[in-house]
């Protein structure tokens, strides 16, 4: 996906909790990682995109317990980025 299209999607559908440049860098790292990962990891990434609010809260709590503080808006934006990566790899 081209940067402009990515930024357009993020501007329209995200919570804008992650600035565009950082979101783009995350997207590129995820694309690279996705290409080098195993099937189980890909399935896990797919599941992240369809988590309920309760599941997101549990995931956020696990992240916090490991020292990663993230807001609910950031969770949604990261899930959007991951979903775009997954969709890109099925085009």
CB 73 within 8 A of CB 17: yes
Mean pLDDT by 10 residues, the chain (91 residues): 95 93 94 81 78 89 93 91 83 53
Task: Provide the token pair at 88.
Answer: 């890109």
The domain spans of the chain are 3-88
CB 27 within 8 A of CB 9: no
How far is the C-alpha of 54 from the C-alpha of 89, rounded, in Å?
27
How far is the C-alpha of 91 from the C-alpha of 49, rounded, in Å?
17
Task: Provide the token pair at 87.
Answer: 């969709």
The pLDDT score that the predictor gives to residue 19 is: 93
CB 79 within 8 A of CB 47: no
């Amino acid at each position: 996906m081209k940067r402009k299209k990515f930024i357009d999607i993020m501007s329209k559908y995200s919570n804008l909790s992650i600035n565009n440049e950082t979101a783009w860098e995350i997207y590129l790292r995820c694309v690279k990682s996705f290409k080098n990962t195993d099937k189980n990891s890909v399935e896990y990434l797919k599941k992240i995109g369809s988590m309920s609010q309760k599941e997101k809260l549990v995931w956020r709590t696990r992240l916090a317990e490991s020292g990663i503080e993230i807001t609910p808006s950031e969770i949604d934006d990261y899930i959007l980025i991951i979903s775009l990566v997954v969709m890109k790899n099925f085009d």
